[in-house]
Amino acid sequence: MSKFILAVDAGTTSNRAILFNHEGKIERISAKEFEQIFPQNGWVEHNPEEIWATQKFVIRDVIKKHKINASDINAIGITNQRETTIVWDRETSEPIYNAIVWQDRRTAKYCDELKDKGLTKKIHEKTGLLIDAYFSASKIKWILDNVEGAREKAEQGKLAFGTVDSWLIWRLTHGNIHATDVTNASRTMLYNIHELKWDKELLDIFEIPESLLPEVKQSSEVYGTTVKEHFGGAIKISGIIGDQQGALFGQMCIEKGMTKNTYGTGCFVVMNTGTEAIISKNNLLTTIAWQLNDEVNYALEGSIFMGGAVIQWLRDQLQIISRAPEVESLALSVPDNGGVVLIPAFVGLGAPHWDQYATGTIIGLTRGTGKAHIARAALESIALQSMDVIKTMTEDSGIDIIDLRVDGGAATNDLLMQTQSDLIEQKVVRPAITETTALGAAYMAGLATGFWSDVDEIQKLWSVDKVFEPKENSNTDQLIVNWNKGLERAKHWNK
């Protein structure tokens, strides 16, 4: 049997290829950032050709630097930024517009119109989602309505839609496969998560022809193979899972009530609810966790738009740090935030507030405020947003979280993890391998091909790096009071 599984991790700011061995350990990583495009206020785009080019580059880079051949790779698993929307020409494989990223808010007013029509309940019951510009459906409609000739071509069956996973599979297979999995489909606002099919009524509401859509598969099955010329040989593609669901599986949160938080560009708290789709009463999302061996697991999810991206903002816009890891030492140079509260609603507020008109706010500034106080408040804002979601999730599910399993780039920040533990008054567990999003995709791919025999075998591979216990004298009460006051001032600012 081939020695490795290759995980393709198509993120929001970079693409990565990660080579895992049979013990679930990383052998090699290659990463490459790509351009973030901001055509107007609230608009966020990517160049789909650049997404493909950077992804192809990092896969080739891993193969070359590890001195292996395509035949050494058992299978490819894909995990991806969800909701990001790409429409391309089926004949030429060329995108007709840039990818509209999940953070993009251009369709916010259209979403308000849908709410005014009384469609919130219907869409929530069918999809588990709230009407918001975050999801793919309104983005697809925008492209069809605003790109010349797009709607006519779509009606003729000449266009294809996909989230990033579908786009990459299309290019990896030279257009032979137009597919996605249930986790990505469940984030489009067009997929009925109970009946497991594209919903004709929702397609009519959004005026989207069904011919545009990919075939929906399980998260773990052999979909096809890459064409030989890409990597010097054909490689099976046998895992697809949205990034947050991938992290849930990679963290081995396989039982009902197990919960993880990924601290990536955004933060995403996800709780496994087993085979039951719990419809939230408190503005959380119900989503499909995965489909494996014909069984569907569901999850509750709270999406936070600005997580690690807050640190990027400190680095790139404020320029108070030159590298992201510097934020921890800067924040630790002061004993507390000095009364500063930072509400990182740069693209609105996600769960549980769902206020697309909120804006970023810094409050509590005095003459004594320095960059270290702002850095500390920025880190705290990530933990405070996560706290809001976790508390809401516990209320919705009736399940107490025993511990919180964490991953993503910012999970390596000890101050942030300790603050998180203090705020939720629970253990925070960081695994030995924090690349759990990619690991989940690798596991899905390897299970489909027999690289790993079953979930029990995989579960034995999970190991802990560090556990953060809540401190008794953490003084979080005032932090929470100030946070809630700041939230109220940031909400509805642009309305």
Please state the residue numbers annotated as binding site for glycerol: 82-83, 134, 243-244
Give the residue ranges of the annotated binding site for sn-glycerol 3-phosphate: 12, 82-83, 134, 243
Q: What is the dihedral of CA 227, 29, 445, 452, to 10 degrees?
A: 130
Could you identify the residue written with the tokens 């405020």? 369
* C-alpha distance from residue 119 to each of 32, 140, 188, 319 (Å): 41, 18, 16, 43
Six token digits for residue 128: 């588990």
**252 in helix, strand or coil?**
coil
Q: Show binding-site residues for ADP.
A: 12, 16, 265, 308, 409, 413
Q: Cβ distance 414 to 331 under 8 Å? A: no
> What residues does 301 pair with on adjacent strands?
270, 285
Q: How far apart are CA 139 and CA 15, in angstroms?
A: 22
Burial 352-362 (b: 16+ CB within 10 A, else e): bbbbbbbbbbb
Q: CA-CA distance, 416 to 376, in Å (whole number)?
A: 9
- Which residues make up each annotated binding site for ATP? 12-14, 265, 308, 312, 409
Question: Which residues lie below 8 Å from residue 437, measured CB to CB, with a gap of 6+?
Answer: 9, 79, 243, 244, 246, 247, 250, 262, 264, 407, 408
Chain length of the chain: 495
Binding site: residue ranges? 12-14, 16, 82-83, 134, 243-244, 265, 308, 312, 409, 413
Pairwise CA distance, residues 124 & 106, whole Å: 21
Burial 44-55 (b: 16+ CB within 10 A, else e): bbbebbbbbebb
Report the 10 Å Cβ neighbour count for 376. 25
Dihedral of CA atoms 480, 314, 437, 229 in degrees, nearest 10, equals 160
Is 87:95 a contact under the CB 8 Å cutoff?
yes
Helix (H) or strand (E) holding 263: strand 259-263
H-helix segments, 260-370 = 308-313, 326-332
Q: How far is CA 35 from CA 71, 99, 161, 354, in A?
A: 32, 12, 22, 27
Q: With contact defined as beta carbons under 8 Å apart, do 263 and 101 qualify?
A: no
Q: Give the gyration radius of the chain's Cα atoms.
A: 22
Instruction: State the Cα–Cα distance between residues 461 and 283, nearest whole angstrom.
Output: 35
For residues 415-442, b (16+ Cβ closer than 10 Å) or e, as one string? bbbbbbbbbbebebbbbebbbbbbbbbb
Q: Are 219 and 446 in contact (CB under 8 A)?
A: no
